[in-house]
Amino acid sequence: MASFLEDLLKKMQTAPHVGIPPVTNPKVPTKVERDAAEFAARQQATPKQDYGSGSSFDQLMKSIANSQHPTMRFGDPAFGNNGQDISEADFEKWDDLCVNFIEKKNADKAKRKHKSNNTLSVQDEQ
Amino acid sequence: MRQLNILSLNCLGGHIYRDLLKYPYGNPFIWTRLDNNDFIKLLEHYETIDFLNYELIKEGDRLDKFRVLIDDNIKIQFNHHRFDAAAYTPQRRGVDIFYNKIWEYIADIYEKRLSRMAKVVDLVAIDDWDDSLYIERMKEICTSKKYPLFICTDRLPEHDNDTIIIKPRVMHNGHGPGPGDIWQDYSTEIKRLLKIKGEP
């Protein structure tokens, strides 16, 4: 004679599972899988645009780089790019002009000083 | 009529001349920067300094840093005067001047403004963003020499009389005031020290 427990197990094995979705059936995609597939399809349909990392800073840097200014300039006079958008030969030319001007100024100053010293020594003698 | 002579160690003086008073610049220190020690030397020896004994100095290998050394002692930094090979005439961009012979321009404005500089000091205007010891020393010198003095600082107690006005810094959108804000915050006080009537 079958025990009560054996009968119960038999009933459980044969009973239909009504109303329970076959979530473990690999052939039917889950909701998560369906959503992921839908998202991937939408992504593929959207035309690709290059936003760098997506930040506005990247876009700003790109627009600066593409602008008509060959190099970036900043307020700090010591900034590396300032004044470097000329060729080395041109720079030498400007530098020579500058040095010559300063030397001429210094020579004028020395002359003035010499003249003033002479005037003072003449006054002393008188 | 002589020009007003306002001494400042940074751009505050430039803003007072240009934006508040709309007067011609009365000395060569406008839109320049002086180190604290140099400014103290300028105040201490103002009457005896030979301002005509100056030397233009190019600092470094580049054409971007120029200084004027006065009487072998006091150095003015021309931070708003820049070399630009493409600028065949002096070009103003904001407060900066660009020119491909900026060294000539600096020497020229130094001499022109020096020719207008009076022997009397009408105002010393200090925007404090540095060490309080320097501020104290500048105040001592101005007090002893009776130079009218305006200081915008939080380091010294507020003070207001005919010759010295010390006012606190007013915050602007969460930031400390720049020289361009200070003249607007205290235009009435600055004009009072300069004995100038009228609304800013």
pLDDT at A84 over 80: no
* Cα–Cα distance measured from residue A119 to residue A114, given in angstroms and rounded to the nearest whole number: 9
Does the ipTM surpass 0.85? no
At residue A25, the pLDDT reads 60
Percentage of chain B lying above the pLDDT 90 cut: 71
pLDDT at B105 over 90: yes
In angstroms, how far is CA B9 from the centroid of its own chain?
A: 4
At residue B96, the pLDDT reads 87
For B150, which DSSP code?
E
Sign of the Cα torsion B122, B78, B22, B117 reads positive
Sheet strand arrangement including B74-77: B54-58, B66-70, B74-77
Interacting residues of B90 by C-beta distance below 8 A, sequence separation 6+: B97, B98, B99, B102, B105
Residue with tokens 């010559």: A100
Q: What is the dihedral of CA A114, A119, A124, A125, to 10 degrees?
A: 100
Written as six digits, the tokens of B190 are 């600055």
Residue with more model confidence, A36 or A14: A36
CB B3 within 8 A of CB B116: yes
* Cα–Cα distance measured from residue B112 to residue B28, given in angstroms and rounded to the nearest whole number: 8
For B7, which DSSP code?
E
Written as six digits, the tokens of B67 are 């200084």
The mean pLDDT value of chain B amounts to: 90
For B17, which DSSP code?
I
Query: pLDDT of B126-167, one tens digit each?
Result: 987 667 788 899 999 999 999 999 999 988 899 999 999 999
CA distances from A30 to A34, A53, A102 (A): 6, 33, 82
Percentage of chain A lying above the pLDDT 70 cut: 56
Written as six digits, the tokens of B69 are 């050394």
pLDDT at B80 over 70: yes
* Cα–Cα distance measured from residue B143 to residue B137, given in angstroms and rounded to the nearest whole number: 10
* Cα–Cα distance measured from residue B47 to residue B69, given in angstroms and rounded to the nearest whole number: 17
Residue with more model confidence, A59 or B199: A59
At residue B172, the pLDDT reads 86
Q: Which of A62-71, A81-90, B67-76, B170-179 has the lowest mean pLDDT?
A: A62-71
pLDDT at A90 over 80: yes
Residue with tokens 């010293």: A117
At residue A26, the pLDDT reads 59
Residues 103-132 of B with CB under 8 A from A: 103-104, 107
Rounded average pLDDT over A62-68? 65
With an 8 Å Cβ cutoff, are B104 and A101 in contact?
yes
Rounded average pLDDT over B176-187? 90
The mean pLDDT value of chain A amounts to: 73
With an 8 Å Cβ cutoff, are A82 and B82 in contact?
yes
Shortest Cα–Cα distance, B158 to chain A (Å): 34
Q: Which residues of B touch A82 (CB under 8 A)?
A: 62, 64, 82
Residue B54 contacts A, CB cutoff 8 Å: yes
CB A63 within 8 A of CB A56: no
Residue with more model confidence, A77 or B6: B6
Interacting residues of B66 by C-beta distance below 8 A, sequence separation 6+: B56, B57, B58, B59, B78, B81, B102, B103, B106
pLDDT at B200 over 50: no
Instruction: Please report which helix (H) or strand (E) contains residue B99, including its range.
Output: strand B96-99
At residue B65, the pLDDT reads 87
Residue with tokens 């020009």: B3
At residue A125, the pLDDT reads 60
Rounded average pLDDT over B106-132? 89
Q: Which residues of B touch A99 (CB under 8 A)?
A: 58
Residue with more model confidence, B34 or A75: B34
Q: In chain A, which residue's Cα lies nearest the Cα of B95?
A: A75
Q: Which residues of B touch A77 (CB under 8 A)?
A: 64-65, 79, 82
Rounded average pLDDT over B85-114? 92
pTM of the model: 0.70
* Cα–Cα distance measured from residue B40 to residue B7, given in angstroms and rounded to the nearest whole number: 11
Rounded average pLDDT over A21-47? 78
At residue B191, the pLDDT reads 94
pLDDT at B89 over 50: yes
Strand B96-99 and strand B149-152: the pairing is unpaired
Written as six digits, the tokens of B187 are 């235009």
